[in-house]
Amino acid sequence: MNTAVPGFLASGISAGIKSAGAPDLGLIFSQAPAAAAAVFTTNKIKAAPVRESQARLHQSAGLVQALIVNSGNANACTGVEGVRHVQSVCRSLSKTLKVPEQHILMSSTGIIGVPLPLEKVTGSIPALVGALSPDGLDDFSRAIMTTDTFPKRIMRRVCLADTEVSLCGIAKGAGMIMPRMATMLSFILTDLATSPEFLRSAFREAVDISFNAITIDGDTSTNDTALILANGAAGNPPLTGDAGGGDAFKDALCGLLKDLSRLILKDAEGATKLITIRLVNAGTSEAAKDIAFQVANSPLVKTAFFGEDLNWGRIMAAIGKTEHEIDSDVIDIFINSIMIVQHGCATGLASRAAALLKEREFTVTIDLHHGCASAEVGTTDLSIDYVKINSAYPT
Amino acid sequence: MNTAVPGFLASGISAGIKSAGAPDLGLIFSQAPAAAAAVFTTNKIKAAPVRESQARLHQSAGLVQALIVNSGNANACTGVEGVRHVQSVCRSLSKTLKVPEQHILMSSTGIIGVPLPLEKVTGSIPALVGALSPDGLDDFSRAIMTTDTFPKRIMRRVCLADTEVSLCGIAKGAGMIMPRMATMLSFILTDLATSPEFLRSAFREAVDISFNAITIDGDTSTNDTALILANGAAGNPPLTGDAGGGDAFKDALCGLLKDLSRLILKDAEGATKLITIRLVNAGTSEAAKDIAFQVANSPLVKTAFFGEDLNWGRIMAAIGKTEHEIDSDVIDIFINSIMIVQHGCATGLASRAAALLKEREFTVTIDLHHGCASAEVGTTDLSIDYVKINSAYPT
């Protein structure tokens, strides 16, 4: 698969942050300064690279030319020293790449609370820059993996009036996933020419219905970052709104982020199922989303799915936990198209629907009959392997 | 242990609701009508016996003379028929016991969504009543178990001025535990003479700092009920406030409910650890409780404790998920008395503290340095056995 995006180079190498020579340092370089938009974790405890990236995006008017990412160390809960480490890495990279320091961002993922091994990172910068290539995104996406079992990369091309534009999305994440306004690490590269305002609004819209609509364990990371870089190499008349192909670009971006979100769920720690929770006819959008997440995060619902057991009472109990107004006596529940609960009671079709739980993917539709708002959340089961992975993950 | 409370009789038998002849039907009978106070689940989806008990307590001015409880079937999500079944059981019991029907309550626990096997219950009433005895509370507490591995029963005696009063508490629950204003099934019997108002306020106060401060999996049941019956057999001048021993009674009641809560945690499905999360110096009581519950319910924190792994970054991430205002750079964290995080960063004492995680019980203290409110929540680890138990529990 050709994942090159015109005007972008990338690389990924081992800097010795992880043991055993696994790749752990990646770089993306845009030959021209790129318009950037980002959403970061809403966790109140933000990693040093998140704090520093937020400040830089604000100061640089949204222009970014290079992004360095390490895995194996989150550089979170590392105090003032952690922020100084980010600044040192960016300064060192600025000298080697000959680009202004304020146009460089850093992201990190891995263990929390351990100081970043600064010399390993800065010492690897010459090799990292030397390895830059238009085909380097594969190496980059491997260098940002932690408990991921496969690299997550998706390519799209979209036609705007006369110009073909490329979009490449890269993500990592397999645990500590319930993004809430932002998400794990995800980087989208495009050669689109666009105003920063249009890019920001299109990106936020797409993130809301993709990364912000999945959960693996209800835990929100300190390092979540989703960043899009648009370098204009496609040469289209710069987009400023839906005209001139803006709507087509937004559609492609939404589709790309949704597919990336699914890849994250497919690689969820220990998961054996990919489940879509559809909440329909809720009183408000907030109620729809809250209740869908309650069901998606219930350990009892998730363990039942792991056991391929149609224990729908647990779904009802998870719905009922809500503080929103609902009427328990009118709720219907479907597994795919089979109605297992009608007016809050069993339909007798549970045994027929149970066969569907043996599939790798299925949809649970909950009809509250209480309004006309809806929401959709992607989730996974809770397996023995999730506990094994997370009780053994080294501090 | 003598668990008899003057004026109360109890029994527990097998009615064939569970398979294999396990005890599944219990009865408590007060020789005089008892003042009653109860708190029920805040889950919006309430089981038929909860709905019916709420209505009866309202109609009967808080007087109760008999309580029948079955395990093996929750009688939840069973529609209008479920409520009719509760009424039939109470009517049948009323005839046998010769007490007014409105002075009888029913509770149920077990699988959701399956009709109560009415004939099995009503057919067993003569045997159940025949088995009533002052020493029957042991049989009763066994008859209300589901995934519990041991019966939970605690006895207290408290002196009010001239009178010794007995208090016996019984509970069941090992999963779907995060009570939120009420809890699993719990019944407290006392021979105290009291005004219903004093009983209600003392009970609510005690429930808030006991059952409402524990969580196993963050899931709230449809059947949670905590009920106290005071039959006045002790003959003390009826309590109406803190005077005349009211404060001593409240202390004893709080202690009893806290100990019952600990028994529930000790029997938590698959748990190997009992962990107290102490949140101190929060901005508000609500923030203290919310953040303590966030840490207590985080799957990543709980699996780390199962692995006896001092992954404190997960504790920080769980704290930061909050929507309350906090300052991440001033947070301190202790395991028992060892400070592992100071001003949001590692102290270097984690390896010393790690030894404490091998104990069956320990305390995590989180100091937010943001105000003067505090909260304490009891929780457990998340083990492989929790997943095994809950993926295999039959629907």
Q: What does each C-alpha distance from A316 to A339, A356, B46, B165, B341 come to in angstroms?
A: 14, 19, 10, 41, 40
Q: Quick check: A320 and B113 CB within 8 A? A: no
- For residue B271, CA distances in Å to A197, A297, B350, B361 come to 51, 19, 23, 11
Q: Which two tokens stand for residue A134?
A: 């238009």
User: How many angstroms separate the CA atoms of A218 and B229, rounded?
Assistant: 39
The pLDDT score that the predictor gives to residue B178 is 64
Contact B317 A346 (CB under 8 A): no
- Please report which confidence band the pLDDT of residue B395 belongs to, taking 50, 70 and 90 as the band edges: very low
Element (H, E) at B87: helix B79-97
- Side-chain half-sphere CA neighbours of B151 within 13 A: 19
> Distance between CA B289 and CA B377 in Å, rounded?
8
Calpha distance B48→B74 (Å, rounded): 8
Q: Compute the distance between CA of residue A176 and CA of residue B159 in angstroms, rounded to an integer.
A: 52
Phi, psi (deg, nearest 5) at residue B169: -115, 140
Average pLDDT along chain B:
89
Place of tokens 């699988």: B111
Rounded CA separation A319/A312 (Å): 11
In chain B, whose CA is at the least distance from the CA of A74? B313
Residue of B nearest to A114 (CA): B346
Spell out where B237-337 has E strands: 274-282, 332-335
The C-alpha of A35 sits at a distance from chain B's nearest C-alpha, in angstroms, of 30
Cα B204 from Cα B189, distance rounded (Å): 15
Q: pLDDT tens across B321-330, in order? A: 888 999 988 9
User: How much is the pLDDT for A243?
Assistant: 85
pLDDT at A134: 94
Nearest chain A CA: its distance from B257 CA (Å): 23
DSSP secondary structure of B58-72: HHTTTEEEEEEEEES
Contact B329 A79 (CB under 8 A): yes
The answer to whether the Cβ–Cβ distance between B390 and A318 falls below 8 Å is no
Catalytic residues of A: 183
CA distances for B146 relative to B12, B74, B142, B351, angstroms: 14, 11, 9, 39
For A391, which of B309, B328, B350 is closest by C-beta distance?
A: B309
Task: For chain A, 395 residues long, give each residue's pLDDT as a single digit of tens.
Answer: 466 899 999 999 999 999 888 999 999 999 999 999 988 887 888 899 999 999 999 888 788 999 999 999 999 889 899 999 999 999 999 999 999 999 999 999 988 889 999 999 999 999 999 999 999 999 999 999 988 888 988 888 888 878 889 999 898 887 766 654 444 788 888 989 898 889 989 998 888 888 888 777 777 777 788 889 998 889 999 999 888 888 999 999 998 988 888 888 888 888 899 999 999 999 999 999 999 999 999 988 999 999 998 889 889 989 988 889 999 889 999 999 999 999 999 999 988 999 999 999 999 999 999 999 999 999 999 999 988 888 885 54
Q: By the 8 A CB rule, do B4 and B13 touch?
A: no
Q: Are A219 and A101 in contact (CB under 8 A)?
A: no
CB A176 within 8 A of CB A45: no
How far is it, in rounded angstroms, from Cα B165 to Cα B5? 9
- The pair of structure tokens assigned to A87 is 């600044």
Residue of B nearest to A78 (CA): B345
Vertex A267 angle, CA A264 and A273, to 5°:
100
Distances (CA, A) of A104 to A26, A127, A287: 13, 18, 40
Query: What's the token pair of residue A109?
Result: 């993922």
Bridge-partner residues for B34, per DSSP? B64
Q: What is the DSSP string of A331-381?
A: -EEEETTEEEEETTEE-S-HHHHHGGGGSSEEEEEEE--S-SEEEEEEEE-
Are B299 and A74 within 8 A, CB to CB? no
Residue A333 CA to residue A345 CA, distance in Å, equals: 9
Cα–Cα distance measured from residue B26 to residue A196, given in angstroms and rounded to the nearest whole number: 69
Q: Calculate how close chain A gets to B36, using CA atoms only, in Å.
A: 26
- C-alpha distances in Å from residue A64, one per residue of A28, A58, A144, A227, A231: 10, 11, 19, 10, 9
pTM of the full predicted structure? 0.81
Residue of B nearest to A111 (CA): B313
- Which residue among B219, B306, B322 places its CB closest to the CB of A44? B322
pLDDT of the residue at B113 = 86
Average pLDDT over residues B63-82: 93
User: How far does the CA of residue B276 sit from the closest CA of chain A (Å)?
Assistant: 19
Containing A30, the helix (H) or strand (E) segment is: strand A25-40
Contacts of A338 (CB under 8 A, 6+ apart): A349, A352, A353, A356
Query: To which residue do tokens 């770089």 refer?
Result: A27
Q: Please list every residue in chain A whose beta carbon sits closer than 8 Å to the beta carbon of residue B341.
A: 77, 113
Catalytic residue among B183, B190, B276, B380: B183
**Extended beta strands in B122-273, E state:** 152-160, 163-172, 185-190, 225-230
Question: Which pLDDT value is given to residue B181?
Answer: 42
The structure tokens 């799209």 sit at A156
CB A295 within 8 A of CB A341: no
Which residues in chain A have Cβ-Cβ distances shorter than 8 Å to B110?
Answer: none
User: To 10 degrees, the CA torsion angle through A172, A177, A179, A184?
Assistant: -20
B162 CB-contact burial (10 Å; exposed 0-12 / middle 13-18 / buried 19+): exposed
Distance in angstroms (rounded) separating the CA atoms of residues B327 and B369: 8
Tell whether the model's pLDDT for residue B288 goes beyond 80: yes
Nearest-Cα residue of chain B relative to residue A330: B79
Listed in sequence order, the DSSP H helices in chain A are 48-59, 79-97, 118-123, 125-130, 137-143, 196-208, 246-266, 285-297, 299-306, 312-320, 350-354, 384-392
**Yes or no, beta carbons of B309 and A350 under 8 Å apart:** no
Q: How many angstroms separate the CA of residue A304 from the nearest CA in chain B?
A: 5
Tokens describing residue B371: 């105000």
In this complex, do B300 and A382 lie within 8 Å of one another by their Cβ atoms?
no
Other residues' Cβ atoms within 10 Å of the Cβ of residue B361: 14
Burial profile A264-301: b = 16 or more Cβ within 10 angstroms, e = fewer: bbbbbbbbbbbbbbbbbbbbeeebbbbbbbbbbbbbbb
Asked if residues A46 and A121 have their Cβ atoms less than 8 Å apart, the reply is: no
Rounded to the nearest 10°, the torsion over CA B333, B301, B323, B282 is -30
**Per-residue model confidence (pLDDT) at position B279:** 96
- Read off the pLDDT of residues B134-157 as tens digits, 9 standing for 90 and up: 999 999 999 999 888 889 888 888
Write down the pLDDT at residue A48: 94
Sheet containing B373-380, strands listed edge to edge, beginning at the edge strand earlier in sequence: B345-346, B338-342, B332-335, B361-367, B274-282, B373-380
Question: What is residue B182's predicted lDDT score, i.e. its pLDDT?
Answer: 44
Instruction: Give the burial string for A373-383 (b: 16+ CB within 10 Å, else e).
Output: bbbbbbbbbbb
Closest-CA residue of A relative to B303 is: A391
Partner residue facing B388 (CB), from A310, A320, A384: A384
Instruction: For residue range B258-268, list pLDDT tens digits in order.
Output: 888 888 888 88
Q: What 3-state DSSP class applies to A194?
A: strand
Give which of A192, A173, A204, A186 is closest to A110, Cα–Cα: A173
CB contact under 8 A, A299 and B344: no
CB atoms < 10 A from the CB of B307, how many? 21
Contact residues, chain B, for A312 at CB < 8 Å:
77, 112-113, 395
Q: Give the model's pLDDT for residue A178.
A: 64
- For residue B236, the number of C-alpha atoms closer than 13 Å in the C-beta half-sphere is 27
Q: Which of A303, A380, A384, A385 to mutate to test the interface with B (most CBs of B within 10 A)?
A: A303
Instruction: Name which of B222, B307, B391 is nearest A316 (Cβ-Cβ).
Output: B222
Report the pLDDT value the prediction gives residue B177, as an integer from 0 to 100. 65
| Chain A residues whose beta carbon lies within 8 Å of the beta carbon of residue B316 | 45, 76-77, 112-113, 222
Give me the residue from B176, B221, B316 closest to A112, CB to CB: B316
Q: Closest Cα partner for B350 from B367, B368, B338, B365?
A: B338
Q: Which of B43, B298, B343 sits opposite A219 (nearest CB)?
A: B298
Cα–Cα distance for residue pair A368/A291, rounded to 1 Å: 10
Cβ pair A386:B303 closer than 8 A: yes
Q: ipTM value, please give it.
A: 0.79
The residue type at A82: G
A224 - beta bridge partners? none
What pLDDT is recorded for position B103? 94
Least confident of B39-48, B267-276, B347-356, B386-395: B386-395
- Cα–Cα separations (whole angstroms), residue B25 to A9, A359, B66, B131, B181: 71, 38, 13, 11, 26
Beta bridge partners of B364: B277, B335
Which has more confidence, B200 or B222? B200
Instruction: Give how far A96 is from chain B: nearest CA, Å.
Output: 32
In sequence order, the 6+-apart residues with CB closer than 8 A to the CB of A240 are: A194, A195, A197, A198, A246
pLDDT in tens, B157-186: 888 878 889 999 898 887 666 654 444 788
